[in-house]
Amino acid sequence: MRSSPLKTLLTTLLGWIVAFALFFPIFWMVLTSFKTELGAISTPPEVFFRPVITAYQEVQARSNYLHFALNSILISVGGTLVAMLLSIPAAYAMAFHPSHRTRSTLLWMLSTKMLPPVGVLVPIYLLFRTSHLLDSRIGLIGIYALMNLPIVVWMLFTFFREMPKDILEAGRMDGATTWNEVVHLLMPLTLPGMASTALLSLILCWNEAFWSLNLTSSSAAPLTTFIASFSSPEGLFFAKLSAASTLAVAPILVFGWISQRQLVRGLTFGAVK
Amino acid sequence: MDTAPGVSATHALSDPPGVGARLAALLQRRSVLPTLLLVPVLLFFIVWNTVPTLWLLGLSFYRFSLTSGRPPIFTGFGNFESILQDSEVWLALSRTFLFVILAVGIETVLGLLLGLLFWNSQRLPGRRVALTMLFTPMVLTPVAAGTFWRLIYDPTFGVLSAMLRGLGLPTVNFLGDARTAFGSVLAVDVWMWTPFMVLMTLAALASVPKAELEAAEIDRLSFLQRLRLVILHHGKFILMLGILLRTIDAFKTMDLIYDMTFGGPGSTTQLVAIMLYRRAFEVFSMGWSSALAVILLLISIAFTATFIFVLHARERRKQDMPA
Protein backbone atom coordinates (compact mmCIF):
# COMPACT_ATOMS: atom_id res chain seq x y z
CA MET A 1 0.00 0.00 0.00
CA ARG A 2 1.42 3.39 -0.94
CA SER A 3 1.10 6.38 1.32
CA SER A 4 2.52 9.85 1.77
CA PRO A 5 5.85 10.33 3.58
CA LEU A 6 4.18 12.23 6.39
CA LYS A 7 1.71 9.45 7.00
CA THR A 8 4.55 6.95 6.93
CA LEU A 9 6.48 8.92 9.50
CA LEU A 10 3.45 9.21 11.75
CA THR A 11 2.65 5.50 11.63
CA THR A 12 6.25 4.61 12.35
CA LEU A 13 6.37 6.99 15.26
CA LEU A 14 3.08 5.75 16.64
CA GLY A 15 4.13 2.14 16.23
CA TRP A 16 7.33 2.74 18.12
CA ILE A 17 5.61 4.64 20.91
CA VAL A 18 3.14 1.82 21.41
CA ALA A 19 5.87 -0.80 21.32
CA PHE A 20 7.91 1.10 23.89
CA ALA A 21 4.93 1.65 26.15
CA LEU A 22 4.09 -2.04 26.13
CA PHE A 23 7.68 -3.01 26.70
CA PHE A 24 8.35 -0.51 29.48
CA PRO A 25 7.16 -2.65 32.43
CA ILE A 26 9.51 -5.45 31.42
CA PHE A 27 12.36 -3.03 30.93
CA TRP A 28 11.67 -1.57 34.37
CA MET A 29 11.64 -5.00 35.98
CA VAL A 30 15.05 -5.85 34.54
CA LEU A 31 16.40 -2.44 35.50
CA THR A 32 15.17 -2.77 39.08
CA SER A 33 16.71 -6.20 39.42
CA PHE A 34 20.17 -4.65 39.04
CA LYS A 35 19.66 -2.12 41.82
CA THR A 36 20.42 -2.39 45.49
CA GLU A 37 17.37 -2.92 47.69
CA LEU A 38 17.68 0.67 48.86
CA GLY A 39 18.18 2.07 45.37
CA ALA A 40 15.12 0.20 44.14
CA ILE A 41 12.78 2.17 46.41
CA SER A 42 14.43 5.58 46.15
CA THR A 43 12.19 8.47 45.10
CA PRO A 44 12.31 9.70 42.46
CA PRO A 45 13.22 6.35 40.88
CA GLU A 46 16.79 6.02 39.73
CA VAL A 47 17.28 5.61 36.02
CA PHE A 48 21.05 5.93 35.94
CA PHE A 49 22.87 3.99 38.61
CA ARG A 50 25.71 1.57 39.13
CA PRO A 51 24.33 -1.89 38.41
CA VAL A 52 24.95 -4.52 41.04
CA ILE A 53 24.05 -8.20 41.12
CA THR A 54 23.47 -8.52 44.84
CA ALA A 55 19.76 -9.18 44.30
CA TYR A 56 20.58 -12.11 42.03
CA GLN A 57 23.11 -13.46 44.50
CA GLU A 58 20.57 -13.33 47.29
CA VAL A 59 17.94 -15.07 45.17
CA GLN A 60 20.38 -17.78 44.19
CA ALA A 61 21.50 -18.21 47.77
CA ARG A 62 17.94 -18.77 48.90
CA SER A 63 16.89 -21.22 46.21
CA ASN A 64 18.79 -23.06 43.56
CA TYR A 65 17.71 -21.43 40.31
CA LEU A 66 19.17 -24.06 38.00
CA HIS A 67 17.18 -26.85 39.64
CA PHE A 68 13.89 -25.06 38.89
CA ALA A 69 15.01 -24.01 35.40
CA LEU A 70 15.94 -27.58 34.51
CA ASN A 71 12.54 -28.79 35.70
CA SER A 72 10.82 -26.12 33.63
CA ILE A 73 12.73 -27.15 30.53
CA LEU A 74 12.16 -30.90 31.01
CA ILE A 75 8.47 -30.53 31.78
CA SER A 76 7.72 -28.05 29.00
CA VAL A 77 9.56 -30.02 26.34
CA GLY A 78 8.09 -33.29 27.60
CA GLY A 79 4.55 -31.93 27.69
CA THR A 80 4.88 -30.47 24.21
CA LEU A 81 6.32 -33.69 22.78
CA VAL A 82 3.52 -35.81 24.20
CA ALA A 83 0.88 -33.35 23.01
CA MET A 84 2.34 -33.25 19.49
CA LEU A 85 2.72 -37.02 19.21
CA LEU A 86 -0.88 -37.52 20.22
CA SER A 87 -2.26 -34.65 18.17
CA ILE A 88 -0.60 -35.08 14.79
CA PRO A 89 -2.37 -38.36 13.94
CA ALA A 90 -5.65 -37.08 15.33
CA ALA A 91 -5.49 -33.78 13.46
CA TYR A 92 -4.50 -35.63 10.31
CA ALA A 93 -7.46 -37.95 10.60
CA MET A 94 -9.90 -35.13 11.22
CA ALA A 95 -8.53 -32.80 8.54
CA PHE A 96 -8.29 -35.30 5.70
CA HIS A 97 -10.89 -37.87 6.57
CA PRO A 98 -13.59 -35.84 8.26
CA SER A 99 -16.68 -37.64 9.38
CA HIS A 100 -19.94 -36.27 10.65
CA ARG A 101 -18.50 -36.54 14.14
CA THR A 102 -15.41 -34.42 13.46
CA ARG A 103 -16.97 -31.13 14.41
CA SER A 104 -18.40 -32.38 17.66
CA THR A 105 -15.13 -34.10 18.54
CA LEU A 106 -13.28 -30.84 18.06
CA LEU A 107 -15.86 -28.99 20.08
CA TRP A 108 -15.70 -31.53 22.86
CA MET A 109 -11.92 -31.22 23.03
CA LEU A 110 -12.13 -27.46 23.17
CA SER A 111 -14.82 -27.60 25.82
CA THR A 112 -12.44 -29.41 28.17
CA LYS A 113 -10.28 -26.31 28.09
CA MET A 114 -13.09 -24.24 29.49
CA LEU A 115 -13.33 -25.82 32.87
CA PRO A 116 -11.43 -23.66 35.36
CA PRO A 117 -8.62 -26.00 36.43
CA VAL A 118 -9.48 -25.45 40.06
CA GLY A 119 -12.69 -27.33 39.32
CA VAL A 120 -10.91 -30.61 38.68
CA LEU A 121 -8.05 -30.03 41.09
CA VAL A 122 -9.41 -32.31 43.79
CA PRO A 123 -10.05 -35.37 41.61
CA ILE A 124 -6.71 -34.92 39.87
CA TYR A 125 -4.97 -34.43 43.19
CA LEU A 126 -6.44 -37.63 44.58
CA LEU A 127 -5.62 -39.44 41.33
CA PHE A 128 -2.03 -38.22 41.61
CA ARG A 129 -1.76 -39.23 45.23
CA THR A 130 -2.95 -42.78 44.65
CA SER A 131 -0.63 -43.23 41.67
CA HIS A 132 2.35 -41.59 43.41
CA LEU A 133 2.62 -38.88 40.79
CA LEU A 134 2.67 -35.94 43.19
CA ASP A 135 5.80 -33.84 42.81
CA SER A 136 6.93 -35.90 39.83
CA ARG A 137 7.93 -34.59 36.42
CA ILE A 138 6.05 -37.36 34.65
CA GLY A 139 2.80 -36.31 36.29
CA LEU A 140 3.22 -32.68 35.31
CA ILE A 141 4.16 -33.66 31.76
CA GLY A 142 0.89 -35.55 31.52
CA ILE A 143 -1.11 -32.62 32.86
CA TYR A 144 0.63 -30.11 30.60
CA ALA A 145 0.12 -32.30 27.56
CA LEU A 146 -3.56 -32.59 28.34
CA MET A 147 -3.86 -28.89 29.02
CA ASN A 148 -2.46 -28.06 25.59
CA LEU A 149 -3.98 -30.91 23.60
CA PRO A 150 -7.11 -29.03 22.52
CA ILE A 151 -5.18 -26.01 21.24
CA VAL A 152 -2.55 -28.18 19.57
CA VAL A 153 -5.17 -30.33 17.85
CA TRP A 154 -7.09 -27.24 16.72
CA MET A 155 -4.03 -25.49 15.36
CA LEU A 156 -2.74 -28.57 13.57
CA PHE A 157 -6.21 -29.22 12.21
CA THR A 158 -6.30 -25.67 10.80
CA PHE A 159 -2.85 -26.00 9.27
CA PHE A 160 -3.62 -29.37 7.74
CA ARG A 161 -6.92 -28.20 6.37
CA GLU A 162 -5.31 -25.18 4.72
CA MET A 163 -3.07 -27.48 2.76
CA PRO A 164 -3.99 -27.50 -0.92
CA LYS A 165 -6.08 -30.59 -1.56
CA ASP A 166 -4.93 -30.85 -5.19
CA ILE A 167 -1.44 -31.82 -4.12
CA LEU A 168 -2.75 -34.72 -2.06
CA GLU A 169 -5.09 -35.72 -4.88
CA ALA A 170 -2.20 -35.70 -7.30
CA GLY A 171 -0.19 -37.83 -4.92
CA ARG A 172 -3.01 -40.30 -4.63
CA MET A 173 -3.36 -40.45 -8.41
CA ASP A 174 0.30 -41.37 -8.59
CA GLY A 175 -0.41 -44.24 -6.24
CA ALA A 176 1.02 -42.81 -3.03
CA THR A 177 0.07 -44.82 0.03
CA THR A 178 -1.14 -43.05 3.12
CA TRP A 179 2.31 -43.44 4.63
CA ASN A 180 3.99 -41.85 1.60
CA GLU A 181 1.38 -39.16 1.52
CA VAL A 182 2.14 -38.23 5.11
CA VAL A 183 5.92 -38.47 4.95
CA HIS A 184 6.57 -36.92 1.55
CA LEU A 185 3.77 -34.44 1.14
CA LEU A 186 2.14 -33.55 4.40
CA MET A 187 5.17 -33.35 6.68
CA PRO A 188 7.31 -31.03 4.55
CA LEU A 189 4.42 -28.81 3.58
CA THR A 190 3.07 -28.32 7.08
CA LEU A 191 6.37 -28.20 8.91
CA PRO A 192 6.17 -24.45 9.60
CA GLY A 193 2.70 -24.90 10.98
CA MET A 194 3.78 -27.78 13.19
CA ALA A 195 6.80 -25.83 14.39
CA SER A 196 4.74 -22.84 15.38
CA THR A 197 2.21 -25.06 17.13
CA ALA A 198 5.00 -26.68 19.13
CA LEU A 199 6.42 -23.26 19.98
CA LEU A 200 3.10 -22.05 21.29
CA SER A 201 2.69 -25.19 23.35
CA LEU A 202 6.17 -24.76 24.84
CA ILE A 203 5.40 -21.21 25.88
CA LEU A 204 2.08 -22.19 27.44
CA CYS A 205 3.74 -25.04 29.36
CA TRP A 206 6.48 -22.78 30.64
CA ASN A 207 4.02 -20.20 31.92
CA GLU A 208 1.56 -22.56 33.55
CA ALA A 209 1.37 -21.95 37.27
CA PHE A 210 -1.80 -23.43 38.71
CA TRP A 211 -0.97 -27.12 38.38
CA SER A 212 2.70 -26.76 39.15
CA LEU A 213 1.91 -24.83 42.34
CA ASN A 214 -0.61 -27.36 43.52
CA LEU A 215 0.94 -30.64 42.39
CA THR A 216 4.64 -30.12 43.04
CA SER A 217 6.57 -29.08 46.09
CA SER A 218 10.29 -29.37 45.50
CA SER A 219 11.87 -32.08 43.41
CA ALA A 220 9.73 -31.50 40.29
CA ALA A 221 8.93 -27.83 40.88
CA PRO A 222 9.41 -25.57 37.85
CA LEU A 223 10.16 -21.84 37.73
CA THR A 224 6.57 -20.79 38.38
CA THR A 225 6.88 -22.34 41.83
CA PHE A 226 10.22 -20.61 42.21
CA ILE A 227 8.71 -17.19 41.56
CA ALA A 228 5.71 -17.86 43.77
CA SER A 229 7.99 -18.79 46.64
CA PHE A 230 9.41 -15.28 46.50
CA SER A 231 6.15 -13.57 45.86
CA SER A 232 4.07 -13.92 48.95
CA PRO A 233 5.62 -14.67 52.30
CA GLU A 234 7.78 -11.66 53.05
CA GLY A 235 7.38 -7.96 52.38
CA LEU A 236 8.01 -6.23 49.10
CA PHE A 237 11.71 -6.49 48.39
CA PHE A 238 11.73 -4.70 45.09
CA ALA A 239 15.15 -5.67 43.82
CA LYS A 240 14.92 -9.28 44.95
CA LEU A 241 11.42 -9.77 43.53
CA SER A 242 12.46 -8.17 40.26
CA ALA A 243 15.50 -10.40 40.06
CA ALA A 244 13.41 -13.50 40.73
CA SER A 245 10.84 -12.45 38.11
CA THR A 246 13.56 -11.72 35.58
CA LEU A 247 15.15 -15.10 36.20
CA ALA A 248 11.81 -16.85 35.79
CA VAL A 249 10.89 -15.23 32.49
CA ALA A 250 14.34 -14.75 30.92
CA PRO A 251 14.69 -18.19 29.29
CA ILE A 252 11.26 -18.19 27.66
CA LEU A 253 11.65 -14.55 26.65
CA VAL A 254 14.92 -15.17 24.86
CA PHE A 255 13.48 -18.30 23.33
CA GLY A 256 10.44 -16.38 22.18
CA TRP A 257 12.56 -13.65 20.67
CA ILE A 258 14.70 -16.11 18.76
CA SER A 259 11.74 -18.04 17.43
CA GLN A 260 9.43 -15.08 16.95
CA ARG A 261 9.91 -15.05 13.21
CA GLN A 262 8.91 -18.69 13.10
CA LEU A 263 6.03 -18.15 15.45
CA VAL A 264 4.56 -15.27 13.48
CA ARG A 265 5.31 -16.77 10.10
CA GLY A 266 3.77 -20.03 11.18
CA LEU A 267 0.57 -18.36 12.25
CA THR A 268 0.46 -16.28 9.10
CA PHE A 269 1.10 -19.32 6.95
CA GLY A 270 -1.86 -20.95 8.54
CA ALA A 271 -3.94 -17.96 7.54
CA VAL A 272 -2.95 -17.79 3.89
CA LYS A 273 -5.45 -19.54 1.73
CA MET B 1 -13.37 -42.02 -0.33
CA ASP B 2 -14.36 -43.45 -3.70
CA THR B 3 -10.74 -44.21 -4.53
CA ALA B 4 -10.40 -46.50 -1.54
CA PRO B 5 -11.27 -49.86 -3.13
CA GLY B 6 -8.93 -49.17 -6.03
CA VAL B 7 -6.06 -48.31 -3.79
CA SER B 8 -6.47 -51.33 -1.58
CA ALA B 9 -6.75 -53.58 -4.63
CA THR B 10 -3.44 -52.42 -6.08
CA HIS B 11 -1.92 -52.75 -2.68
CA ALA B 12 -3.09 -56.33 -2.29
CA LEU B 13 -1.73 -57.20 -5.72
CA SER B 14 1.71 -55.78 -5.17
CA ASP B 15 2.17 -57.42 -1.77
CA PRO B 16 2.48 -61.13 -1.14
CA PRO B 17 -0.87 -62.23 0.30
CA GLY B 18 -0.91 -62.75 4.05
CA VAL B 19 -1.93 -61.20 7.33
CA GLY B 20 0.33 -58.19 6.79
CA ALA B 21 -1.14 -57.47 3.40
CA ARG B 22 -4.65 -57.84 4.65
CA LEU B 23 -3.88 -55.54 7.56
CA ALA B 24 -2.40 -53.00 5.17
CA ALA B 25 -5.44 -53.28 2.98
CA LEU B 26 -7.65 -52.74 5.98
CA LEU B 27 -5.66 -49.68 6.97
CA GLN B 28 -5.99 -48.34 3.46
CA ARG B 29 -9.74 -48.35 3.83
CA ARG B 30 -10.19 -44.69 4.55
CA SER B 31 -12.62 -45.09 7.38
CA VAL B 32 -10.60 -47.47 9.54
CA LEU B 33 -7.35 -45.58 9.65
CA PRO B 34 -8.74 -42.21 10.77
CA THR B 35 -10.58 -43.83 13.61
CA LEU B 36 -7.46 -45.66 14.72
CA LEU B 37 -5.49 -42.44 14.61
CA LEU B 38 -7.96 -40.75 16.88
CA VAL B 39 -7.90 -43.48 19.50
CA PRO B 40 -4.77 -42.40 21.45
CA VAL B 41 -5.96 -38.84 21.83
CA LEU B 42 -9.42 -39.95 22.88
CA LEU B 43 -8.07 -42.44 25.40
CA PHE B 44 -5.82 -39.79 26.88
CA PHE B 45 -8.74 -37.43 27.16
CA ILE B 46 -10.95 -39.98 28.81
CA VAL B 47 -8.39 -40.94 31.44
CA TRP B 48 -7.23 -37.44 32.28
CA ASN B 49 -10.32 -35.43 31.61
CA THR B 50 -13.55 -37.31 31.43
CA VAL B 51 -12.89 -39.32 34.57
CA PRO B 52 -12.10 -36.26 36.75
CA THR B 53 -15.05 -34.38 35.26
CA LEU B 54 -17.45 -37.20 36.06
CA TRP B 55 -15.95 -37.37 39.53
CA LEU B 56 -16.61 -33.66 39.84
CA LEU B 57 -20.15 -34.10 38.67
CA GLY B 58 -20.70 -36.83 41.24
CA LEU B 59 -19.16 -34.79 44.03
CA SER B 60 -21.42 -31.86 43.23
CA PHE B 61 -24.40 -33.81 44.60
CA TYR B 62 -22.78 -34.37 47.98
CA ARG B 63 -22.01 -32.32 51.01
CA PHE B 64 -18.38 -33.04 51.59
CA SER B 65 -15.70 -31.22 53.53
CA LEU B 66 -12.09 -32.16 52.97
CA THR B 67 -11.16 -31.47 56.60
CA SER B 68 -14.01 -32.89 58.64
CA GLY B 69 -13.15 -36.52 57.94
CA ARG B 70 -16.83 -37.40 57.78
CA PRO B 71 -18.07 -39.33 54.76
CA PRO B 72 -19.82 -37.31 52.06
CA ILE B 73 -23.57 -36.86 52.53
CA PHE B 74 -25.83 -37.05 49.51
CA THR B 75 -27.81 -33.82 49.15
CA GLY B 76 -29.23 -34.07 45.64
CA PHE B 77 -29.45 -30.63 44.14
CA GLY B 78 -28.82 -28.99 47.51
CA ASN B 79 -25.49 -27.50 46.51
CA PHE B 80 -26.93 -26.08 43.32
CA GLU B 81 -29.83 -24.53 45.19
CA SER B 82 -27.52 -22.95 47.71
CA ILE B 83 -25.36 -21.56 44.89
CA LEU B 84 -28.30 -20.04 43.06
CA GLN B 85 -29.42 -18.34 46.27
CA ASP B 86 -25.94 -17.08 47.11
CA SER B 87 -25.76 -13.40 46.20
CA GLU B 88 -21.97 -13.52 46.36
CA VAL B 89 -21.93 -16.03 43.52
CA TRP B 90 -24.12 -13.80 41.37
CA LEU B 91 -21.85 -10.86 42.12
CA ALA B 92 -18.74 -12.83 41.24
CA LEU B 93 -20.37 -14.13 38.07
CA SER B 94 -21.48 -10.71 36.87
CA ARG B 95 -18.06 -9.31 37.77
CA THR B 96 -16.50 -12.07 35.69
CA PHE B 97 -18.78 -11.37 32.73
CA LEU B 98 -17.93 -7.68 32.95
CA PHE B 99 -14.24 -8.54 33.10
CA VAL B 100 -14.45 -10.87 30.09
CA ILE B 101 -16.48 -8.45 27.98
CA LEU B 102 -14.25 -5.47 28.77
CA ALA B 103 -10.98 -7.36 28.49
CA VAL B 104 -11.76 -9.18 25.27
CA GLY B 105 -13.50 -6.14 23.79
CA ILE B 106 -10.64 -3.75 24.47
CA GLU B 107 -8.06 -6.31 23.39
CA THR B 108 -9.88 -6.96 20.12
CA VAL B 109 -10.29 -3.29 19.23
CA LEU B 110 -6.73 -2.37 20.21
CA GLY B 111 -5.44 -5.51 18.51
CA LEU B 112 -7.25 -4.63 15.28
CA LEU B 113 -5.98 -1.06 15.29
CA LEU B 114 -2.40 -1.98 16.15
CA GLY B 115 -2.46 -4.86 13.69
CA LEU B 116 -3.55 -2.51 10.91
CA LEU B 117 -0.91 0.00 11.98
CA PHE B 118 1.86 -2.55 11.76
CA TRP B 119 0.51 -4.07 8.59
CA ASN B 120 0.62 -0.70 6.88
CA SER B 121 4.15 0.00 8.03
CA GLN B 122 5.62 -3.08 6.48
CA ARG B 123 8.77 -1.57 5.02
CA LEU B 124 9.68 0.68 7.86
CA PRO B 125 12.92 0.81 9.79
CA GLY B 126 13.01 -1.33 12.89
CA ARG B 127 9.59 -2.83 12.34
CA ARG B 128 10.76 -6.24 13.42
CA VAL B 129 12.28 -4.93 16.63
CA ALA B 130 9.15 -2.93 17.40
CA LEU B 131 7.00 -5.99 16.78
CA THR B 132 9.23 -8.09 19.00
CA MET B 133 8.83 -5.60 21.82
CA LEU B 134 5.11 -5.52 21.22
CA PHE B 135 4.75 -9.31 21.39
CA THR B 136 6.84 -9.72 24.51
CA PRO B 137 4.10 -9.41 27.16
CA MET B 138 2.25 -12.34 25.61
CA VAL B 139 5.17 -14.66 26.25
CA LEU B 140 5.60 -13.71 29.90
CA THR B 141 4.70 -15.97 32.78
CA PRO B 142 1.50 -14.56 34.33
CA VAL B 143 2.68 -15.28 37.86
CA ALA B 144 5.86 -13.30 37.26
CA ALA B 145 3.95 -10.54 35.47
CA GLY B 146 1.58 -10.25 38.42
CA THR B 147 4.54 -9.99 40.76
CA PHE B 148 6.29 -7.16 38.99
CA TRP B 149 3.07 -5.31 38.21
CA ARG B 150 2.42 -5.29 41.93
CA LEU B 151 5.74 -3.50 42.30
CA ILE B 152 4.88 -1.07 39.52
CA TYR B 153 1.48 -0.34 41.07
CA ASP B 154 2.89 0.15 44.57
CA PRO B 155 1.50 3.44 45.91
CA THR B 156 4.68 4.48 47.71
CA PHE B 157 7.63 3.11 45.78
CA GLY B 158 6.11 2.06 42.47
CA VAL B 159 7.28 3.64 39.25
CA LEU B 160 3.73 4.48 38.19
CA SER B 161 3.13 6.53 41.33
CA ALA B 162 6.47 8.24 40.77
CA MET B 163 5.32 9.17 37.27
CA LEU B 164 2.03 10.55 38.60
CA ARG B 165 3.92 12.57 41.20
CA GLY B 166 6.23 13.82 38.48
CA LEU B 167 3.20 15.11 36.59
CA GLY B 168 1.93 16.76 39.73
CA LEU B 169 -1.02 14.39 40.06
CA PRO B 170 -2.15 12.71 43.26
CA THR B 171 -0.92 9.14 43.70
CA VAL B 172 -3.35 6.27 43.57
CA ASN B 173 -3.36 3.07 45.56
CA PHE B 174 -4.11 1.13 42.38
CA LEU B 175 -4.57 -2.37 43.77
CA GLY B 176 -5.49 -1.40 47.31
CA ASP B 177 -8.34 0.96 46.57
CA ALA B 178 -11.73 -0.63 45.95
CA ARG B 179 -12.50 1.93 43.25
CA THR B 180 -9.39 1.32 41.14
CA ALA B 181 -8.50 -2.33 41.80
CA PHE B 182 -10.77 -3.82 39.14
CA GLY B 183 -9.56 -1.40 36.46
CA SER B 184 -5.93 -1.92 37.42
CA VAL B 185 -6.21 -5.69 37.13
CA LEU B 186 -8.08 -5.30 33.85
CA ALA B 187 -5.33 -3.04 32.52
CA VAL B 188 -2.71 -5.71 33.16
CA ASP B 189 -4.79 -8.30 31.35
CA VAL B 190 -5.18 -5.94 28.39
CA TRP B 191 -1.45 -5.27 28.47
CA MET B 192 -0.69 -8.99 28.39
CA TRP B 193 -3.15 -10.12 25.76
CA THR B 194 -3.55 -7.26 23.27
CA PRO B 195 -0.40 -8.57 21.55
CA PHE B 196 -2.20 -11.85 20.92
CA MET B 197 -5.02 -10.07 19.14
CA VAL B 198 -2.45 -8.06 17.14
CA LEU B 199 -0.97 -11.36 16.03
CA MET B 200 -4.38 -12.70 15.07
CA THR B 201 -5.13 -9.49 13.16
CA LEU B 202 -1.88 -9.77 11.24
CA ALA B 203 -2.71 -13.37 10.42
CA ALA B 204 -6.19 -12.33 9.31
CA LEU B 205 -4.77 -9.58 7.13
CA ALA B 206 -2.41 -12.04 5.52
CA SER B 207 -5.40 -14.08 4.42
CA VAL B 208 -6.87 -11.18 2.42
CA PRO B 209 -6.02 -11.50 -1.27
CA LYS B 210 -3.68 -8.68 -2.30
CA ALA B 211 -5.78 -7.88 -5.36
CA GLU B 212 -8.78 -7.05 -3.23
CA LEU B 213 -6.80 -4.72 -1.01
CA GLU B 214 -5.53 -2.94 -4.11
CA ALA B 215 -9.00 -2.79 -5.59
CA ALA B 216 -10.25 -1.22 -2.38
CA GLU B 217 -7.46 1.31 -2.65
CA ILE B 218 -8.39 2.15 -6.22
CA ASP B 219 -12.07 2.39 -5.36
CA ARG B 220 -11.10 4.81 -2.60
CA LEU B 221 -13.09 3.00 0.01
CA SER B 222 -13.06 4.67 3.39
CA PHE B 223 -11.13 3.07 6.21
CA LEU B 224 -14.24 1.63 7.82
CA GLN B 225 -15.57 0.30 4.54
CA ARG B 226 -12.25 -1.35 3.81
CA LEU B 227 -12.22 -2.86 7.26
CA ARG B 228 -15.72 -4.24 6.98
CA LEU B 229 -15.94 -5.26 3.34
CA VAL B 230 -12.45 -6.54 2.67
CA ILE B 231 -10.53 -7.30 5.83
CA LEU B 232 -13.24 -8.61 8.11
CA HIS B 233 -14.82 -10.48 5.23
CA HIS B 234 -11.73 -12.59 4.64
CA GLY B 235 -10.08 -12.65 8.04
CA LYS B 236 -13.23 -13.27 10.02
CA PHE B 237 -12.54 -16.88 10.85
CA ILE B 238 -9.09 -16.25 12.27
CA LEU B 239 -10.22 -13.23 14.24
CA MET B 240 -13.16 -15.16 15.62
CA LEU B 241 -10.91 -18.00 16.67
CA GLY B 242 -8.72 -15.46 18.47
CA ILE B 243 -11.71 -13.96 20.24
CA LEU B 244 -13.01 -17.38 21.21
CA LEU B 245 -9.68 -18.48 22.67
CA ARG B 246 -9.29 -15.22 24.56
CA THR B 247 -12.83 -15.39 25.94
CA ILE B 248 -12.34 -18.90 27.26
CA ASP B 249 -9.09 -17.90 28.92
CA ALA B 250 -10.41 -14.65 30.34
CA PHE B 251 -13.36 -16.49 31.82
CA LYS B 252 -11.02 -18.45 34.07
CA THR B 253 -8.52 -15.71 34.79
CA MET B 254 -6.77 -16.72 37.94
CA ASP B 255 -2.96 -16.48 37.86
CA LEU B 256 -2.81 -12.71 37.45
CA ILE B 257 -5.33 -11.93 40.16
CA TYR B 258 -4.00 -14.62 42.45
CA ASP B 259 -0.74 -12.74 42.54
CA MET B 260 -1.90 -9.14 42.48
CA THR B 261 -4.94 -8.88 44.74
CA PHE B 262 -6.21 -12.40 45.50
CA GLY B 263 -9.71 -11.08 44.94
CA GLY B 264 -9.43 -8.04 47.18
CA PRO B 265 -9.80 -5.39 48.37
CA GLY B 266 -13.09 -6.59 49.77
CA SER B 267 -14.22 -8.74 46.89
CA THR B 268 -13.84 -6.10 44.16
CA THR B 269 -11.57 -8.25 41.99
CA GLN B 270 -12.98 -11.60 43.04
CA LEU B 271 -13.68 -13.30 39.74
CA VAL B 272 -15.44 -16.58 39.82
CA ALA B 273 -12.31 -18.74 39.44
CA ILE B 274 -10.71 -17.09 42.45
CA MET B 275 -13.92 -17.49 44.42
CA LEU B 276 -13.99 -21.18 43.57
CA TYR B 277 -10.43 -21.56 44.74
CA ARG B 278 -11.06 -19.78 48.01
CA ARG B 279 -14.19 -21.75 48.79
CA ALA B 280 -12.50 -25.03 47.94
CA PHE B 281 -9.22 -24.51 49.74
CA GLU B 282 -9.97 -22.00 52.45
CA VAL B 283 -13.43 -23.16 53.44
CA PHE B 284 -12.90 -26.72 52.14
CA SER B 285 -16.48 -27.16 51.00
CA MET B 286 -15.73 -29.54 48.17
CA GLY B 287 -19.28 -30.46 47.20
CA TRP B 288 -20.35 -26.83 46.93
CA SER B 289 -17.25 -25.92 44.90
CA SER B 290 -17.74 -28.88 42.61
CA ALA B 291 -21.30 -27.78 41.94
CA LEU B 292 -20.08 -24.28 41.11
CA ALA B 293 -17.44 -25.75 38.79
CA VAL B 294 -20.13 -27.76 37.02
CA ILE B 295 -22.17 -24.59 36.51
CA LEU B 296 -19.14 -22.78 35.11
CA LEU B 297 -18.44 -25.63 32.75
CA LEU B 298 -22.02 -25.54 31.49
CA ILE B 299 -21.82 -21.77 30.91
CA SER B 300 -18.60 -22.16 28.94
CA ILE B 301 -19.92 -25.00 26.84
CA ALA B 302 -23.10 -23.10 26.07
CA PHE B 303 -21.06 -20.08 25.04
CA THR B 304 -18.70 -22.02 22.78
CA ALA B 305 -21.47 -24.03 21.22
CA THR B 306 -23.39 -20.86 20.35
CA PHE B 307 -20.25 -19.24 19.04
CA ILE B 308 -19.31 -22.15 16.84
CA PHE B 309 -22.86 -22.61 15.66
CA VAL B 310 -23.02 -18.99 14.50
CA LEU B 311 -19.64 -19.30 12.81
CA HIS B 312 -20.67 -22.54 11.16
CA ALA B 313 -23.98 -21.11 9.97
CA ARG B 314 -22.21 -18.17 8.36
CA GLU B 315 -19.68 -20.44 6.72
CA ARG B 316 -22.46 -22.53 5.26
CA ARG B 317 -24.25 -19.47 3.97
CA LYS B 318 -21.02 -18.39 2.29
CA GLN B 319 -20.65 -21.79 0.68
CA ASP B 320 -24.19 -21.68 -0.62
CA MET B 321 -23.54 -18.42 -2.37
CA PRO B 322 -22.10 -18.67 -5.86
CA ALA B 323 -18.44 -17.71 -5.88
Q: Give the pLDDT confidence of A162-221 residue by residue, as tens digits.
A: 777 777 778 778 877 777 777 787 788 888 778 888 888 898 899 998 899 889 888 899
Per-residue confidence band for B14, with pLDDT thresholds at 50, 70 and 90: very low
What ranges do the domains of chain A cover? 64-229
Q: DSSP of chain A, one letter per residue?
A: ----HHHHHHHHHHHHHHHHHHHHHHHHHHHHHTS-HHHHT-SSPPSS-----HHHHHHHHHS-HHHHHHHHHHHHHHHHHHHHHHHHHHHHHHHHS--TTHHHHHHHHHHHTTS-HHHHHHHHHHHHHHTT-TT-HHHHHHHHHHHHHHHHHHHHHHHHHHS-HHHHHHHHHTT--HHHIIIIIIHHHHHHHHHHHHHHHHHHHHH--HHHHHH-SSTT--HHHHHHHHHSSS---HHHHHHHHHHHHHHHHHHHHHHHHHHHHHHHHHH--
Q: What is the ipTM of this complex?
A: 0.84
Contacts of B44 in chain A (CB under 8 A): 86, 145-146, 149
Task: Please give the single-letter amino acid code of residue B28.
Answer: Q
> What's the mean pLDDT in B221-232?
78
Within the 189-208 window of chain B, which residues sit less than 8 Å (CB to CB) from chain A? Answer: 191, 194-195, 199-200, 202-204, 206-207
- Among chain A residues, the shortest Cα distance to B1 is held by A97
What does the pLDDT read at residue B30?
A: 57
Is the domain A64-229 a CATH 1.10.760.10 member? no
pLDDT in tens, B247-299: 888 988 888 888 888 887 888 888 988 888 888 877 778 888 889 988 988 88
Contacts of B120 in chain A (CB under 8 A): 1, 3, 11
Contacts of B157 in chain A (CB under 8 A): 40-41, 43, 236, 238
A245 and B52 in contact by Cβ < 8 A? no
CATH classification (class only), B87-320: mainly alpha
Lowest mean pLDDT among B155-159, B164-168, B236-240: B236-240
Q: What are phi and psi of B193, to 5 degrees?
A: -110, -5
Which of B137, B162, B245 comes nearest A44 by C-beta?
Answer: B162
pLDDT over 50 (residue A273): no
- B243 near A CB under 8 A: no
Q: Measuring CA to CA, which residue among A68, A62, A103, A104 is closest to residue A249?
A: A68
B147 and A43 in contact by Cβ < 8 A? no
B124 and A8 in contact by Cβ < 8 A? yes
